[in-house]
Structure 1
Amino acid sequence: MNDAKRTLTSPVVHIGLASRPEDLLAFRTLNEEWITRFFTLEEADRRQLGDPEGQILAPGGRIFVAHLDARTVGCVALRPTGAGEFEVSKMAVSPEWRGLGIGRQLLTYTIEQARALGSSRLILGSSTKLESAVKLYERVGFRHLPAERLPPLAYSRADVFMELNL
């Protein structure tokens, strides 16, 4: 880690809708990095990351990206799962920018956007291997619940299930 990064506690990032082809490429790259670091890419990952426009955006979802200067340093998706409900999915922060609050900024922005879309509930599946992510979800208000209270999630790695009522 360089000295300039050490002095940053929470860099100011610009978060908005993925609107450029390079945003969607960053969405794929950032997610493939963390997934292959801890797990293996599953079929649902390949479908969503290979065709985010068709798999996430066309059904009414959103992909948000965090930019620091001209660089995409984070991303997250909102996938519709039913009337008034979205799944928070594919949240990633570039390895060299983790631990500086970018994930929290992304998640807070995503919650605000879900509210603006009229969502009544957010759900997610995560993993006990991703302890810092689970703690972040808890800190912003997500609550644990049994898997059977969620629509089926397509990831075998998911062993933590959470919701946030809006």
Structure 2
Amino acid sequence: MDVMTIRLATRPDDIAAVKSLFTDYLRFIEDYLGQSLSFQGTEREFADFPHTYDALWLAELNGKPVGAVGLKPFADQTAELKRLWVSPDARGHAFGQRLCKACIAGARAHRYTRLLLDTDRGLNHANAIYEALGFSDVPRYYDNPMDSRFMALDL
């Protein structure tokens, strides 16, 4: 029987695992989109990792890091759900949904009143998760040159 866990990443090895998973995410997204995400300030984000985040969550399958998500401050009482990623070999265990729920709960615990995210319209599974959790479409909230989908959840 598989052992699945999701926990707040606080230990140095947890944070290193999240950083590695986020790097995998960036590689996947940039390959998928055929362009860099450097316009999001990724160089600065990873140079100062994890200090641009309020919290990080790590998913493990049988003790192996397989997924992560971050809660990043945006403005006032608004934060962003960032870098949701589940390794391809760990999909099918609802880690994406469980990581999002952890991030939503974390945003509430940090007393945010709104949670934003952006995603690619072609990432059907991710879009379905966000919609099922109550996120809805909003206007573009930052300078993004891609045809991204922008979503928000009032907490």
TM-score when scaled to structure 1? 0.79
Confirm or deny that 1:45 pairs with 2:42: yes
* Identical pairs, percent: 30
Secondary structure of the 1:66 match is strand
- Is 1:87 aligned to residue 83 of structure 2? no
Task: Judge conservation of contact 1:125–1:161 (CA < 8 Å) in 2.
Answer: yes
The equivalent position to 2:111 in structure 1, one of 118, 125, 141, is 118
Q: Distance in 1 between matches of 2:65 and 2:145?
A: 28
Residue-by-residue CA offset, 1:55-99 (whole Å, 9 max, x unaligned): 22xxxx111111233211111100111222110001111120123
Aligned to 1:161: 150
RMSD: 2.1
Supply the distance in 1 between the matched residues of 2:72 and 2:109 (Cα, whole angstroms): 15
> CA contact under 8 A between 2:78 and 2:113: conserved in structure 1?
yes
Query: Match of 1:73?
Result: 66
- Measure, in 1, the Cα distance between the counterparts of 2:69 and 2:111: 18
Structure 2: distance between partners of 1:117 and 1:12: 28
Structure 2 residue aligned with 1:23, among 14, 31, 40? Answer: 14
CA distance in 1, matches of 2:71, 2:147: 17
Tell me the TM-score normalised to structure 2 length.
Answer: 0.84
**Contact 1:73 1:93 survives alignment (8 Å):** yes
Where 1:134 maps in the other structure, the secondary structure is: helix
> Aligned to 1:52, what secondary structure does the other structure show?
coil
1:2-59 deviation digits (Å, cap 9, x = unpaired): xx8xxxxxx6532222122222222222222232223135262232233223322xxx
Residue-by-residue CA offset, 1:91-111 (whole Å, 9 max, x unaligned): 111120123201101111111
The amino acid that maps onto 2:148 is: D
Paired residue secondary structure (1:19): coil
Any unmatched runs of 5+ in structure 1? 5-10
Aligned length: 149
Could you list the runs of 5+ residues in structure 2 that have no partner in the other structure? 31-35
Give, in angstroms, the shift of residue 123 of structure 1. Answer: 0.3
Bigger mean CA deviation after superposition, 116-125 or 61-70: 61-70
Following superposition, which runs of at least 4 residues in structure 1 exceed 6 angstroms of deviation? none
Look up the SS of the partner of 2:96 in the other structure.
helix
Any conservation in 2 of the 1:125–1:158 contact (CA below 8 Å)?
Answer: no
**2:124 counterpart residue number:** 131
Taking a change above 3 Å as real, the CA distance of residues 68 and 16 of structure 1, as seen in their structure-2 partners, is same
